[in-house]
Structure 1
Amino acid sequence: MRNILGYKYSKNAGRVLAASLIISAGLMSCKKYTELTPKDQLGEGVVFTDSTNVEYALNGVYNSAAIGTYNDGSGRGYPFGAASIEQAEMRGEDMVNLATFYEITYKSTITTTTANNVNMWLNLYAMINQANVFIDGAKAAQKSGVISAAKELQLESEARFLRALGHHELLIQFCRPYADGNGGKPGVPYRDVAINSSSKMADALKVGRGTVAEAYTKMLADLDFAEQNIGNGQVISKASKGAVIALKTRIKLHMGDYAGVITEAAKLGADKPVPLSPIGGYKLVDSVATVFTAADKNSESIFSIANSTLANGGTNGALGPMFGPAALSGRGLVSLSANLYNATWWVGDDLRRFNLTYKSTDKKVYSYKFRDYATRTDWAPIVRYAEVLLNAAEAYARTGNNGQAFILLNVVRNRSLPAASLNRFTVAPADVILAILRERRIEFQGEGRRWPDIHRLALDATYGTGGIPAKVDPLDITATDYQAASGVVLPTKVAAIPYSDYRFLWPFPSTEVNANPTLKAQQNPGYN
């Protein structure tokens, strides 16, 4: 397996923590496990004896989050540099797979050996283990006087943030939502101990899935620690106090802890009539397009994964090529669904139609958020201030405060409507929650937020989809199908999959269960 340190995370690509790059959840072959220190990289015994190398080691964890590997080869943006966004959109219905590239995900024909789910599992756990190895090393460096106690706490907090982020991604792909049994369904092994020796490997093999609720408790413990200790630094491509709190609003929304969402979001100013975060100074930019055209320097992006010319998901993974139309030198693989584009609730004068979508020569409409088709430097947005506001809006609405919910909905919605638009809400819509959920689909198209919403709301009798929604078959799309706000609905011949169907979840990889007797006995039903 390879790991190339991204330029945006460090200019010294060779000095990177190596010891954890090839360990997943305790699975891979012994041969891979013994390849702990590649010759061109520094091992644990060297990295943590120098303060500069300690920083480089953390950059290696970020790079593991950004690039990863694909079938043990060069990275395709697994898990968070591109793949989490692409896979989440293909699991939902608001974008359409136009070719064979994402067909397995789009049609839910996943198996224990299909590449996308296998590589997501492997890369998430590799990143998590790298974070754990880093935490141990940073603590040792502090104990020996290489770094200060305050510095250790800050760096450990960043690693814990990534650990929590990784586990949450695992939960929404491989587990039932929190709403099913109040977190009582099987979770995933929460890896918070570094696996870097044979004895630790043996211990890790004994750790079972636990419950979804137990994993959420541990995620929040990681984030609570990080919030208290991460300091006040603010770089979009690094974890920060604002990013920690923003992720907590997302996690608590998935838990249905609406009071908790409100409490966390208030720390970022979402309790105000004009939201402005006292932490980090986060606020909405005037045009949401700025989030993507100035990804490294805007007030709305709270945490994004940096991609660069030297380190990105490549032709077969980066966001620009994968979501872009062929007419703009993208690959023409994924378009917006006409059923989203034509929806009457996405009003015709919404500026996001003009700034963030592109009607190509093939008459299909594509997402126009990621535009670097040649050098693939588009950053991957993980959480931004608009999400915090809409998380809070939903939480307020679900707890009976439609007034603040309406304020926050309008703050996000109105920034994309002309000042004189007759489509601006002057009074709250009859169903505020529905309006908020629709706004999320518009605001976050192409950013990978659709599947998480489908997942958390699957059992919601009023607002849920009841499983994986039916989808448009690309063969049914014609040149006249995209008619903005027309209400024209295309047939959805890719059949819906009910929540009760085993395909709602991804399976653990065969490589995992074959090497891990504990998880073999706990494989998701239907994949045994």
Structure 2
Amino acid sequence: MKKYILLSLIVLSLTACNSDLLDTTPKTSIPEAEAYSTPSKILAQVNNLYRLLQNQSFYGGRYLVFNEQRADEFGQSDGNAAAGSAVWNQNVASTNDFVNNVWSVGYTAINASNILISKLEGTTVVSENLAKNYIAEAKFVRALAYFSLIQTYAKPYALDKNGLGLPLRLTPITSAGNNDLARSTIEEIYNQILKDLNEAETDLPTEYTTSLLNTSRAKKVTAIALKTRVYLVQNNFDKVIEEGQKIISINAPYQYNTGNLTQKLEPTYNAIFTGSYTGPEAIFSIPFANSTTETPTAQSSLAFTYLGQPILYLATEGIANDPALNTTDDSRASLIIKNSANQKLLKKFSLATAPFRDYVPVLRYAEVLLNYAEAKAQNNDLATATSLLQAVRNRSNPSFVFPTTAINTKEALLQTLSTERRIEFLGEGLRLMDLQRNLQTLPAKKGAIGTAPLVLVSSSNYIWPIPSGELSTNKLIVPNP
């Protein structure tokens, strides 16, 4: 019997119904002897890693939506389970399809990365340098998947870094019966994430040949940018600064230049979402090409969720009430509209009818600047932090000057930076991470389907439960307390 290598169908906990995960076409299950037999086939397996990130239950849309539903900026208008009403109401169970899907897709991406790494070590099918490049891309994908999962299913690092993390899978699973693995600690998972990103940075290219590839595939700056996010979650501000200094110029206008690649703020905020999607601010995004295989379903797309249906609308008590989002002076306000029900809607993602192919931003240069600014403020360099903050604000409102009381003390500046993050990344899935890394209560919120309760840091539903599928197939795993 031929040995087959399953590239996106490793059944780690596939109990939820998801057609993408259950696709058994030859594209995802091919003879092992053939999968890495030519340069083009190897490249196809590298591209497959990004396709897994693109899954509609992950960075193809729903993962960002889940993070926004659990946070405090949006009310929910649809009470159906398929629209994630239980997620918004903070009462998902381990048997919930979404809880199982995110875990399954994340670990499928991790396993596909493990397979690629193992198959390319010592290969002669492609050059040594190209093999290192591909392995580095796999390590970036593995790091991003682990970071996303640890944020979702384990306690915040700042709360208990020695607590239960995730099963740390670093070797390929290519057959059934190899699923039993205990949970490593939260710190061990973070250590592996950073190890992968450091090694990826070394071997990733500085740039690719097109702006689309620079946006959709990992390069050195991509790994560095993600490290600034990871270290910020760990409250390791010295390391945020160390990484940020690699890709942020000393003085304004802040940017990063290498070869033909430039990373900097877009000249206008709207250009991020209504332009080519591959401008200088896009460090890493999930693209959607003109193909039915790369089209999320309606309820999984960002545009349908925020604008077309809408499933989520901006909460009256949230950041949508901030003056910056209620003035014609700030271009970010133009991406908020009202519908006939007088609800404020987010139109960052505007392709609200099929085929829903807005690119999904994962890492933007604005985030790197604000990560760096927060770390500088925490280290009492208020002048640099303020300059970085001002650069982000002035991109959308060139004449705005922060009042002295908003920036003249460390505490005031940190609060102002927090507010700016809420405005800048509204709807992009970062708000939950910011609440949890700062060990803040998930606030109560009102929506058309009722009121979702607040969630204390000590509550069991502050994080998602370990999925029932994993509990049933992994004898060594234990549920969250």
Normalising to structure 2: TM-score of the pair? Answer: 0.90
Aligned CA RMSD, in angstroms, stands at 2.3
CA shift at 1:270, angstroms?
5.3
CA shift at 1:300, angstroms?
0.2
Residue range with higher mean Cα deviation, 121-130 or 280-289 = 280-289
C-alpha spacing 1:387/1:270, structure 2 compared with 1 (3 Å) = farther
Native 8 Å contact 1:356 1:368 kept in 2:
yes
| Cα distance between partner residues in 2 of 1:39 and 1:58 | 16
1:209 corresponds to: 183
User: For residues 229-270 of structure 1, what are the alpha-carbon distances to aligned partners after superposition, in whole Å with 9 as ceiling and x for unaligned?
Assistant: 012224101111111000000000011100000010111115
User: For residues 479-498 of structure 1, what are the alpha-carbon distances to aligned partners after superposition, in whole Å with 9 as ceiling and x for unaligned?
Assistant: xxxxxxxxxxxxxx422111
* Runs of 4+, deviation exceeding 6 Å: 26-29
2:19 corresponds to: none
2:423 corresponds to: 442
Correspondence for 1:42 among 23, 26, 30? 30
| Cα distance between partner residues in 2 of 1:341 and 1:386 | 19
1:432 corresponds to: 413
Native 8 Å contact 2:263 2:283 kept in 1:
yes
| Cα distance between partner residues in 1 of 2:265 and 2:233 | 23
Residue identity matched to 1:393: A
1:395 corresponds to: 375
C-alpha spacing 1:376/1:453, structure 2 compared with 1 (3 Å) = same
2:480 corresponds to: 524
| Cα distance between partner residues in 2 of 1:342 and 1:170 | 31
Q: How does 1:63-74 map to 2 (within 5 A)?
A: 63-67=51-55
1:301 corresponds to: 282
CA shift at 1:18, angstroms?
6.0
| Cα distance between partner residues in 1 of 2:284 and 2:182 | 31
| Cα distance between partner residues in 2 of 1:299 and 1:49 | 36
2:333 corresponds to: 354
The percent identity for this pair of structures is 27
1:138 corresponds to: 120
CA shift at 1:97, angstroms?
1.3
Q: Aligned pair 1:405/2:385, yes or no?
A: yes
Note the residue ranges of structure 1 that are not aligned, 5 or more in a row: 1-16, 30-34, 68-76, 325-329, 459-464, 477-492
2:366 corresponds to: 386
C-alpha spacing 1:429/1:444, structure 2 compared with 1 (3 Å) = farther
Q: How does 1:77-226 map to 2 (within 5 A)?
A: 77-100=56-79, 101-139=83-121, 142-143=122-123, 145-181=124-160, 183-198=161-176, 201-202=177-178, 204-205=179-180, 207-226=181-200
1:21 corresponds to: 8
Residue identity matched to 1:335: Y
Native 8 Å contact 1:20 1:36 kept in 2:
no
Correspondence for 1:59 among 27, 47, 54? 47
2:468 corresponds to: 510
- Work out the number of aligned pairs and report it: 456
C-alpha spacing 1:360/1:393, structure 2 compared with 1 (3 Å) = same
CA shift at 1:336, angstroms?
1.3
Residue identity matched to 2:175: S
Residue range with higher mean Cα deviation, 399-408 or 278-287 = 278-287
C-alpha spacing 1:42/1:27, structure 2 compared with 1 (3 Å) = closer
Correspondence for 1:372 among 336, 346, 351? 351
Normalising to structure 1: TM-score of the pair? Answer: 0.82
Residue range with higher mean Cα deviation, 148-157 or 37-46 = 37-46
| Cα distance between partner residues in 1 of 2:358 and 2:289 | 8
Native 8 Å contact 1:18 1:36 kept in 2:
no
Instruction: Please give the secondary structure, in 2, of the residue aligned with 1:468.
Output: coil
Note the residue ranges of structure 2 that are not aligned, 5 or more in a row: 17-21, 209-213
1:258 corresponds to: 237
2:211 corresponds to: none
Native 8 Å contact 2:9 2:24 kept in 1:
no
| Cα distance between partner residues in 2 of 1:270 and 1:107 | 43
1:473 corresponds to: 447
| Cα distance between partner residues in 2 of 1:85 and 1:373 | 16
Q: Aligned pair 1:287/2:268, yes or no?
A: yes
| Cα distance between partner residues in 2 of 1:78 and 1:471 | 24
2:309 corresponds to: 331
C-alpha spacing 1:124/1:211, structure 2 compared with 1 (3 Å) = same
CA shift at 1:425, angstroms?
4.5
Residue range with higher mean Cα deviation, 425-434 or 273-282 = 425-434
Instruction: Please give the secondary structure, in 1, of the residue aligned with 2:87.
Output: helix
Instruction: Please give the secondary structure, in 2, of the residue aligned with 1:267.
Output: helix
| Cα distance between partner residues in 1 of 2:64 and 2:167 | 23
Native 8 Å contact 2:327 2:333 kept in 1:
no
| Cα distance between partner residues in 2 of 1:278 and 1:84 | 31
| Cα distance between partner residues in 1 of 2:151 and 2:331 | 28
| Cα distance between partner residues in 1 of 2:77 and 2:14 | 35
Native 8 Å contact 1:371 1:378 kept in 2:
yes
| Cα distance between partner residues in 2 of 1:152 and 1:36 | 28
CA shift at 1:474, angstroms?
2.4
Residue identity matched to 2:120: A
Native 8 Å contact 1:271 1:404 kept in 2:
no
CA shift at 1:78, angstroms?
2.0
Native 8 Å contact 1:110 1:506 kept in 2:
yes
C-alpha spacing 1:42/1:515, structure 2 compared with 1 (3 Å) = closer
Native 8 Å contact 1:44 1:137 kept in 2:
no
| Cα distance between partner residues in 2 of 1:510 and 1:518 | 13
Residue range with higher mean Cα deviation, 343-352 or 188-197 = 343-352
C-alpha spacing 1:345/1:292, structure 2 compared with 1 (3 Å) = closer
C-alpha spacing 1:55/1:193, structure 2 compared with 1 (3 Å) = same
| Cα distance between partner residues in 2 of 1:363 and 1:27 | 41
CA shift at 1:42, angstroms?
3.0
| Cα distance between partner residues in 2 of 1:189 and 1:271 | 40
Native 8 Å contact 2:76 2:449 kept in 1:
no
